[in-house]
Amino acid sequence: MNYNSETGKRSNGITWAHRLINAPDFELRQCLFGLHLVTKGVTKVAVVESEKTAILFSVNRPDFIWLATGSLSNFKKKLLEPLKGLIVKAFPDKGCYEQWLKVANACNKDGFNIQVSKIMEETKADKGADLADIKDTVSYTDEEINFHKLVEINPTLNKLVESFDLHDKFGNKLRH
């Protein structure tokens, strides 16, 4: 995968090794980028579309194991199956919230625990932008930081906040 060194954006698509070696019977079976990091004892993961974003946030937010789908359409049950039983926080790109929410809701009916963040939808950014594009503009309030600490102790608090549309003492939505 090639990236433009000035913009940090992907360029020229993807070069697949199986095509380079002309393997006609090759069956591509993809998994989530970073899945090898989900080991015994891991309880929560974050899923983004871009591998670059997963790498950046693994440094910025090490409280999650960061995984990437590699494409919008790879946020699907088949690839998410290894995450069943974990707390999964999904961060779709701007404009993709509804599509990922639909997949998450279907998976949750089958016993998954996937929460889909609206942070990109609530942020002024171009369609297709992701967390890496806004990482330097996102700062959490003291209330949100305290909320994150409480969620570490009791993850069910996220469901309460979402179910009852709870806000901080200033009337702002609590961001995950």
pLDDT value for 57: 87
| First vs last C-alpha separation in the chain | 30
Q: What share of the chain is helix, strand, coil (3-state, %, to 5)?
A: 35, 15, 50
pLDDT value for 55: 93
pLDDT band at 124 (very low <50, low <70, confident <90, very high): confident
Integer Cα distance of 21 and 122 in angstroms: 44
Q: What is the mean pLDDT of residues 119-138?
A: 80
C-alpha distances (whole Å) from 141 to each of 80, 91, 93, 138, 172 are 31, 20, 23, 10, 10
pLDDT value for 139: 57
Interval 47-72: pLDDT, tens: 999 999 999 888 878 888 999 999 88
What one-character DSSP code corresponds to residue 35? G
pLDDT band at 36 (very low <50, low <70, confident <90, very high): very high
C-alpha distances (whole Å) from 137 to each of 7, 132, 140, 175 are 17, 10, 10, 14
Q: Does domain 30-138 have CATH number 3.40.1360?
A: yes
**Contact, 101 vs 81, CB < 8 A?**
no
| HSE of 146, CA atoms in CB hemisphere, 13 A | 5
Please indicate whether residue 171 or residue 120 has the higher confidence score (pLDDT): 120
pLDDT value for 175: 65
**What percent of the chain has a predicted confidence (pLDDT) above 70?**
88
Please, which residues bridge with residue 46 across strands?
A: 66, 89
Q: Is the pLDDT of residue 44 over 80?
A: yes
Q: What is the mean pLDDT of residues 150-166?
A: 79
Strands (E), the chain: 2-3, 10-11, 44-48, 65-68, 87-90, 113-116
Q: Is the pLDDT of residue 134 over 80?
A: no
State which amino acid sits at residue 128: G
Domain locations in the chain?
30-138
Mean confidence (pLDDT) of the chain: 85
**The model's pTM:** 0.72
Q: Report phi then psi at 96, rounded to 5.
A: -115, 5
Q: What is the mean pLDDT of residues 90-96?
A: 94
Q: Report phi then psi at 162, rounded to 5.
A: -70, -45
Q: What is the mean pLDDT of residues 18-27?
A: 84
